[in-house]
Structure 1
Amino acid sequence: MKTLKLITAIAITAILGFTSCQSEESIQTGTNPNANSSTSPTASNFERAAMNDGSEDDFLDGSACTELLFPLSATINGKNITILSKLDFSAALNILGEFNDDNDTVAFNFPINVRLSNYTEVTVNSQSELDALKSECESAEAQGRDAISCIDFKFPITMLTYNVSLEQTGSVVIQSEKQLYTFMSGLNSDVLFTANYPISATLSNGTEIQINSDAELQDSISDCVQFEDEKDEAADAALEVEAILSGAKFTVDSYIVAGVNTANDYVNYTIEFTNDLKLIAKDIVNSTTGEIEGTYTVSSETEVFLNTTFASNTAVSALGNDWVVNTYSSTLVSLKSKTDASVTLTFKKI
């Protein structure tokens, strides 16, 4: 689902920063029966897509409605860390990802400064204040006022303005998301607008598009929002798969290559997925055989992936692959090769 950003109750009563973009030369005469009001779906689409994106630090504050401002310090899983820039996010992620079956905790050393979805910067003095902002964020989502972050416009964008008689009164050249948000959120009821199409944009799946009308804008947003929803569903499923695997032992229930089931090749082995992302293959029949170690990771896009790796030239090397998770339950995880759908593997929990 799309990233959430907070729409606060602060009213913006004037459009700031645009007077230098408007001149006598930019004003064109004419009428436009398709001009949009401040309450139109097009106005909402542009405004929500232009909100400040606070999603990059969600693993710390749990809310895309707040962008953490630097410097700040926090205690993460009992370890103190100072974050001076986004470059320090990797250190925080390493602490959080050390084990996949623990309860991660992030305790900020308040006060901290955050930037809200409307670009306002505020000081947060306690966890309760931060929780209140998160609650407002969840309310915005429930009411359909959450941000649309799956589309990035390419600037400049020109907005043509009209009066209620549909006569053009001017034009505004917008150079950034913040200016676009300010323009849309500051529109008066007696001002209408239309975008001077075409507009170029990039979707969250990397596709670059050209938008030629309000209808195409709506279609593009609907498509990319659906893509984001699928990504969120897959991310939730990935967490479930990782929880099933972590700290558990499995046997190879089936391993099919080109229609041939070779599970008997692994009948003597158990495969343990440890909570620190390691694999341990153990021969339960021949105790003199040493353990074979490997690694695993669970990830997702619009599907759930499991990567397994064992050292080459071992009895279980063939089980190492980039897998797509087909189905899963509390006792079975069924996989197919990412590159060859004829190769499938099913792990059964002991």
Structure 2
Amino acid sequence: MKTLKLFTAIAITAILGFTSCQSEENIQTGTNPNANSSTSPTASNYERAAMNDGSDDDFLDGNACTELLFPLTATVNGQEITLISKLDFSAVLDIMGEFNDDNDSVSFSFPINVKTSSYTEVKVNNQSELDALKQECESAEAQGKDAISCVDINFPITMLTYDITLEQTGSVVVQSEKQLYTFMTDLQSDELFAVNYPINATLSNGTEVQIKSDAEFTDSISECVQFEDEKDEAAETAVEVEAILSGAKFTVDSYIVAGVNTANDYVNYTIEFTNDLKLIAKDTVNTTTGEIEGTYAVSSETEVFLNTTFASNTAVSALGNDWVVSTYSNTLISLHSKTDASVTLTFKKI
């Protein structure tokens, strides 16, 4: 899941379902030296944080800036599938995850409908139009006009409004991200606003925060963007690690438990990582011994994980664990246990 989403140039000409209310009595009267203009950094932060999140379906359209609308039909790795809701994503991921050394392909049965970061619904008639939306997304990302999806504001919140003399003109209770986006994009050059702090928010790292100022909101964004960057970097590393493992055979170069290297217990074994996420351990000396099968999976958060599983009571059962990838190269994968960093394992490619 990317953090960034598209800030499109499409203007909203009609606002539907905007139910924010302006109070008859101002929550805060008088002047406010902290009021912000529509072009202020605070306005940009709140506008970008309120954009529509289109990142959940990136594995289908490769575009965090558009949300695919249902129903739609796609051909995934040669298999046609109709998606009625997000519940059907798992079927797509199962097809894509069948092999880890192939190039996944997705083609849509056009036309399809998408919702942009500005909550505008667009009919896409062909791949060229879909590619154009992706290019808009990349342009917005390069200009810092993309969405910030790693901070979820807990609604409702109240926005105080002011004129250019800093006299308060009213207050607006905002109930949703869409209403907040509308409020921010409707601000005129002669209108100012201030957030009625404190507000609460949840960051993508799971942290719940109380925000008491514009500066604290900026700090929260910086914190969660850094977390998302670390996740993206780990995801890229996971792809590299999986590519090194897939279809290759390894030996146990070291296996340290309680300070003792027990690699000699596995000196006769090769461990093969197949492209369909299976493990095959084979005794190369005693060829009458049958193969020992298991499974593996590479995943990531801010670190890269390798889960290995073998059946119990086999010669290689102890190699099954939830591992953290410590270091890697084209020939060596060094791991430590997720629950006990003193337990380490190193695979060497044959």
Same-fold status (TM-score > 0.5): yes
Give, in angstroms, the shift of residue 29 of structure 1: 2.8
Tell me which residue corresponds to 1:211.
211
What amino acid is aligned across from residue 90 of structure 2 in structure 1? S
What amino acid is aligned across from residue 339 of structure 1 in structure 2? T
Q: Deviations over 1:68-126 (max 9, x none)?
A: 00000011000010001111111111001100000100010000000000000000011
Structure-2 separation of matches of 1:32 and 1:139: 36
Query: Tell me, what secondary structure is at the counterpart of 1:139?
Result: helix
Q: TM-score, normalised by structure 2?
A: 0.97
Structure 1 residue ranges without an equivalent (≥5): none
Matching of residues 1-350 of structure 1 within 5 Å: 3-12=3-12, 21-26=21-26, 28-350=28-350
Say whether the 8 Å CA contact 1:27–1:171 is kept in structure 2. yes
Query: Tell me, what secondary structure is at the counterpart of 1:287?
Result: coil
Query: Tell me, what secondary structure is at the counterpart of 1:307?
Result: strand
Give, in angstroms, the shift of residue 50 of structure 1: 0.6
In structure 2, do the counterparts of structure 1 residues 160 and 17 end up closer, same or farther at CA, with 3 Å as the change threshold? farther
Structure-2 separation of matches of 1:141 and 1:58: 15
Query: Tell me, what secondary structure is at the counterpart of 1:169?
Result: strand
Say whether the 8 Å CA contact 1:279–1:293 is kept in structure 2. yes
Structure-2 separation of matches of 1:139 and 1:50: 19
In structure 2, do the counterparts of structure 1 residues 111 and 2 end up closer, same or farther at CA, with 3 Å as the change threshold? closer
Q: TM-score, normalised by structure 1?
A: 0.97
Query: Tell me, what secondary structure is at the counterpart of 2:255?
Result: strand
Deviates more, 1:155-164 or 1:24-33: 24-33
Number of matched pairs: 350
Q: Deviations over 1:265-315 (max 9, x none)?
A: 101000000000000000011100000000000000000000000001100
- Percentage identity across aligned positions? 85
In structure 2, do the counterparts of structure 1 residues 70 and 13 end up closer, same or farther at CA, with 3 Å as the change threshold? closer
Give, in angstroms, the shift of residue 205 of structure 1: 1.3
Give, in angstroms, the shift of residue 11 of structure 1: 3.2
Q: Deviations over 1:181-208 (max 9, x none)?
A: 1111121111000000010111111111
Query: Tell me, what secondary structure is at the counterpart of 1:7?
Result: coil
Say whether the 8 Å CA contact 1:47–1:181 is kept in structure 2. yes
Structure-2 separation of matches of 1:25 and 1:31: 15
Say whether the 8 Å CA contact 2:73–2:109 is kept in structure 1. yes
What amino acid is aligned across from residue 148 of structure 2 in structure 1? I
What amino acid is aligned across from residue 284 of structure 1 in structure 2? T
Q: Deviations over 1:229-262 (max 9, x none)?
A: 0000000000000000000000001111121111
Deviates more, 1:239-248 or 1:9-18: 9-18
What amino acid is aligned across from residue 65 of structure 1 in structure 2? C
In structure 2, do the counterparts of structure 1 residues 264 and 34 end up closer, same or farther at CA, with 3 Å as the change threshold? same
Q: Deviations over 1:20-40 (max 9, x none)?
A: 611322465300011011111
Q: Deviations over 1:32-57 (max 9, x none)?
A: 01101111111111110110001111
Say whether the 8 Å CA contact 1:18–1:173 is kept in structure 2. no
Structure-1 separation of matches of 2:346 and 2:28: 67
Structure 2 residue ranges without an equivalent (≥5): none
Query: Tell me, what secondary structure is at the counterpart of 1:24?
Result: coil
Structure-2 separation of matches of 1:18 and 1:176: 9
In structure 2, do the counterparts of structure 1 residues 206 and 298 end up closer, same or farther at CA, with 3 Å as the change threshold? same
**RMSD of the alignment, in Å?**
1.5
What amino acid is aligned across from residue 321 of structure 2 in structure 1? N
What amino acid is aligned across from residue 344 of structure 2 in structure 1? T
Say whether the 8 Å CA contact 2:12–2:120 is kept in structure 1. no
Query: Tell me, what secondary structure is at the counterpart of 1:47?
Result: helix
Structure-2 separation of matches of 1:36 and 1:114: 32
Query: Tell me, what secondary structure is at the counterpart of 2:57?
Result: helix
What amino acid is aligned across from residue 182 of structure 1 in structure 2? T
Give, in angstroms, the shift of residue 148 of structure 1: 0.6
Say whether the 8 Å CA contact 1:306–1:324 is kept in structure 2. yes
Structure-1 separation of matches of 2:13 and 2:164: 18
Query: Tell me, what secondary structure is at the counterpart of 1:265?
Result: helix
Give, in angstroms, the shift of residue 19 of structure 1: 7.6
Structure-2 separation of matches of 1:275 and 1:19: 52
Query: Tell me, what secondary structure is at the counterpart of 2:187?
Result: coil
Query: Tell me, what secondary structure is at the counterpart of 2:56?
Result: helix
